[in-house]
Amino acid sequence: MNPILFIVFLPLAAAIIAGLGNRMLGNVVAKSLTTGALFVSCALSWPIFLGFVAGTAEASVTPVLHWVQSGSLSFDWALRVDTLTAVMLVVITTVSALVHLYSWGYMDEDPDQPRFFAYLSLFTFAMLMLVTADNLVQMFFGWEGVGLASYLLIGFWFKKPSAAAAAIKAFVVNRVGDLGFMLGIFGTYLVFNTVSIPEILAAAPSMAGTTIGFLGYRFDTMTVLCILLFIGAMGKSAQLGLHTWLPDAMEGPTPVSALIHAATMVTAGVFMVCRLSPMFATSPTALHFVTFIGAATCFFAATVGTCQWDIKRVIAYSTCSQLGYMFFAAGVGANGAAMFHLFTHAFFKALLFLGAGSVIHAMHHEQDMRFYGGLRKKIPLTFYAMMAGTLAITGVGIVDVFGFAGFYSKDSILEAAYASSTELGTFAFVCGIVAALLTSFYSWRLVFLTFYGKPRWAQSEHIQHAIHDAHGHGEHGYDNHVHGDHGHHDDGTAGYHPHESPLTMLVPLGVLSLGAVFAGFLFAHSFISDGEGEFWKGSLAFSEHLIHHMHRVPTWVKWAPFAVMLTGFAVAWNNYIRRPGAPAAFVAQFSLLHRFVFNKWYFDEVYDFLFVRPAFWIGRLFWQQGDVGIIDRFGPDGAAWVVAQGSRVAQKVQTGYLYSYALVMLLGLVGAVSWVLWS
């Protein structure tokens, strides 16, 4: 049997069994089943990917079943495997398998583990369906599947109000993007009379220059279709304007954050744009739009990340920024570089999130970095893993020698933007350089606040609760998370000893660390250095002209990312190691700027004013005035009132006396006879 069937459907089978079996199966069986299925899928995915890297594999389509036949609309459920799919397969299955294993330790005390692992596997299946899609409807099925699974996982702790609200926010914001995606699919079928992706891509060049009616006007056909499709990507991949759900998604368990941000959901938009890149290549306007949104998102998210205190939110805004890099790479035509950064980003971003989860686990679920400090000696393995991720995301490396994963992929995007020689390409390059500076600053800020300096644990309510409960005075069950000795100490730690995570959490950190260190060095040639474009073999639009110019940019362009990386490191070191009081002085001097950035440019407040409050006002109006005041009043409530009044009248007729009933019968008889005689 074709291995792709096992890769895709094993996670689904595991999710169904674990989800329906739930507590009847028990934690160990459910976890073993789902984790084992993902490791099998991962083991089957890597040979496929390496086959494409070696040039020995060929694209294939595996039919599953005939799906829809309605008039001219006809398509099968089939699994397409080409280079683009192979890259996504290893990203999804590798990260998901490691997240499953990591969750053994992180979710060990949760009473509802089978449901959690079933959701993880369902999420993975939906993403696999998306990336193996041979037609747009099948892609939309996977697209909505990851949206559903993200809602379930973000709101997994549904008794926590903030988690439930974050899940709803993610679901609603993504529906806005999905409306654009649906309109794009409808329009594509209208224009091409098919939903088959290969047929659409083959026919796309012939539609360049044609027009289509939309919203009462005539527009360029491919521009309309591509922008509508990209709006879907903006929602799913949290681009500027539809990004507000992503930071709030941190309310879910940390393994969920790693899976959403590294391997599923947020990368779906980048994959879709690259998959349909021959369509986008026919519309310069659409490419310019993608470039601008990507560059603006890259800069915006990096600025917000510099001010966050929650360790997971810093990494979340980092994801938003890195996705901006991927999109403006696709916008300038460097689709190979965009996919390369998606590939390397999966390793170091999953590593950073899972490393943050290890820190949170050690600090008794405290996420505020102001209550960390001095952890490198307490949790050394986690520290080294986080250092590997930080070196990768900041792009540490020496040109033409060696670098960590982000050094190769991010630098290639910046070189492509510069080499595109367009105004928007230059704009993207400048935004990318500034974002690289800010990325280095907030990444090293996270490291210094967390692992260096004096311990600040005594100020944390979570730690105080942990110590309190460990001495037998609590009621909330925190004692299950507390390890080590609890006595009085004079180092400001209030008697709490952070502990290293269990092996099930450390092994995934070790594996991902290898990816963060070597993924760029090992695969750079295949993704971006092959002048003939043989690696991609027609699976995405590939510009040999741009690749040629990328490698011949001026020397200062090649060294600029390295220079801003060092600058960001130096600023962070000066402000959080050498002069710890400097940040407070800066905030006091530039309070308006800090407030603007700290409040995320006030996007949430503006959306609340423009959309949320009016929506609630309209809802209350229809509820109180329409539903209750009109429909209920004159409908069921009105009918009930008439019946009640009629019952009271009829009740007076029921006297219980025989002569009264005889009189009524006599009157009725007289009336009936009179009517007959009269008529």
H helical segments located in 332-422: 335-362, 380-393, 405-419
| 3-class state of residue 624 by DSSP | helix
> What is this structure's pTM?
0.88
The rounded distance, in Å, linking the Cα atoms of 479 and 474 is 8
- Residue of 461, 459, 525 lying closest to 493 (CA atoms): 459
CA separation, residue 613 to residues 162, 427, 631, 671 (Å) = 19, 36, 24, 64
**Banded pLDDT at 640 (limits 50, 70, 90):** confident
For 82, half-sphere exposure in the C-beta direction (CA atoms, 13 angstrom radius) is 19
Q: Which residue has the higher pLDDT, 89 or 476?
A: 89
**pLDDT at residue 350, rounded to an integer:** 93
Per-residue pLDDT of 247-299, as tens digits, reads 888 888 888 888 887 777 888 999 999 999 999 999 999 999 999 999 999 99
- Residue of 437, 291, 269, 241 lying closest to 342 (CA atoms): 269
Angle, helices 161-192 vs 221-236, to 10°: value is 160
**Banded pLDDT at 480 (limits 50, 70, 90):** very low
Task: Tell me: pLDDT of 197 over 90.
Answer: yes
Spacing of C-alpha 59 from chain mean position: 28
Task: Tell me: pLDDT of 484 over 80.
Answer: no
Dihedral of CA atoms 251, 94, 354, 272 in degrees, nearest 10, equals -40
Read off the amino acid at residue 124: T
Read off the amino acid at residue 3: P
- Residue of 564, 563, 582 lying closest to 574 (CA atoms): 582
| 3-class state of residue 239 by DSSP | coil
Per-residue pLDDT of 358-391, as tens digits, reads 999 888 888 889 989 889 999 999 999 999 999 9
Task: Tell me: pLDDT of 166 over 80.
Answer: yes
At 45, list the tokens: 């995915």
**pLDDT at residue 495, rounded to an integer:** 58
- Residue 360: partners with Cβ closer than 8 Å, 6 or more residues away: 254, 311, 312, 366, 367
Task: Tell me: pLDDT of 130 over 80.
Answer: yes
**Cα–Cα–Cα angle for 631, 636, 640, rounded to 5 degrees:** 140
Q: Other CB atoms closer than 10 Å to residue 304's CB: what's the count?
A: 26
Per-residue pLDDT of 75-116, as tens digits, reads 889 999 999 999 999 999 999 999 999 999 888 888 888 999
**pLDDT at residue 662, rounded to an integer:** 86
| 3-class state of residue 61 by DSSP | strand
| 3-class state of residue 454 by DSSP | coil
**pLDDT at residue 510, rounded to an integer:** 94
- Residue of 57, 76, 341 lying closest to 198 (CA atoms): 76
Task: Tell me: pLDDT of 19 over 70.
Answer: yes
**pLDDT at residue 246, rounded to an integer:** 87
Average pLDDT of 32-48? 95
- Residue of 214, 171, 210 lying closest to 192 (CA atoms): 210
- Please give the DSSP secondary-structure letter assigned to residue 472: T
The rounded distance, in Å, linking the Cα atoms of 281 and 465 is 57
Q: Which residue has the higher pLDDT, 69 or 474?
A: 69
The rounded distance, in Å, linking the Cα atoms of 397 and 42 is 29
Average pLDDT of 526-552? 74
**DSSP readout, 89-144?**
HHHHHHHHHHHHHHHHHHTTT-TTHHHHHHHHHHHHHHHHHHHTBSBHHHHHHHHH
Average pLDDT of 133-153? 93
Task: Tell me: pLDDT of 541 over 80.
Answer: no
- Kindly report the length of the chain: 679
Is there a contact between 391 and 355 (Cβ–Cβ < 8 Å)? no
Average pLDDT of 567-590? 91
Is there a contact between 517 and 312 (Cβ–Cβ < 8 Å)? no
At 164, list the tokens: 């439930």
Is there a contact between 83 and 121 (Cβ–Cβ < 8 Å)? no
- Residue of 402, 388, 395 lying closest to 350 (CA atoms): 388
Spacing of C-alpha 507 from chain mean position: 24
Read off the amino acid at residue 212: I
- 453: region left, alpha or beta (phi > 0 left; psi from -120 to 50 alpha): left
Range in 38-52, 199-213, 493-507 the model is least confident about: 493-507
Per-residue pLDDT of 408-459, as tens digits, reads 999 999 999 999 888 999 999 999 999 999 999 999 999 999 999 888 877 7
**pLDDT at residue 304, rounded to an integer:** 94
Is there a contact between 166 and 252 (Cβ–Cβ < 8 Å)? yes
The rounded distance, in Å, linking the Cα atoms of 572 and 574 is 5
**Cα–Cα–Cα angle for 378, 382, 387, rounded to 5 degrees:** 115
Dihedral of CA atoms 329, 332, 336, 339 in degrees, nearest 10, equals 30
**Cα–Cα–Cα angle for 513, 514, 516, rounded to 5 degrees:** 60
Per-residue pLDDT of 318-363, as tens digits, reads 999 999 999 999 999 889 899 999 999 999 999 999 999 999 988 8
- Residue of 317, 319, 345 lying closest to 410 (CA atoms): 345
Per-residue pLDDT of 490-536, as tens digits, reads 444 555 678 888 999 999 999 999 999 999 999 988 888 755 457 87
- Please give the DSSP secondary-structure letter assigned to residue 368: B
**pLDDT at residue 238, rounded to an integer:** 87
CA separation, residue 292 to residues 47, 295, 419, 516, 548 (Å) = 37, 5, 16, 28, 23
- Residue of 269, 262, 183 lying closest to 233 (CA atoms): 269
Q: Which residue has the higher pLDDT, 401 or 534?
A: 401
The rounded distance, in Å, linking the Cα atoms of 339 and 89 is 13
Is there a contact between 367 and 360 (Cβ–Cβ < 8 Å)? yes
Task: Tell me: pLDDT of 475 over 60.
Answer: no
Q: How far apart are the first and last CA of the chain?
A: 88
**DSSP readout, 265-327?**
THHHHHHHHHHTHHHHTT-HHHHHHHHHHHHHHHHHHHHHHTT--BHHHHHHHHHHHHHHHHH
**pLDDT at residue 73, rounded to an integer:** 86
Q: Which helix (H) or strand (E) holds 618?
A: helix 613-620
The rounded distance, in Å, linking the Cα atoms of 113 and 119 is 10
Average pLDDT of 8-33? 92
**DSSP readout, 170-231?**
HHHHHHHHHHHHHHHHHHHHHHHS--BHHHHHHHGGGGTT-EEEETTEEEEHHHHHHHHHHH
The rounded distance, in Å, linking the Cα atoms of 404 and 144 is 34
Looking at every residue in the chain, the average pLDDT score rounds to 88
**Banded pLDDT at 483 (limits 50, 70, 90):** very low
CA separation, residue 482 to residues 3, 457, 472, 588 (Å) = 44, 14, 12, 38
Residue appearing with tokens 């999953």: 350
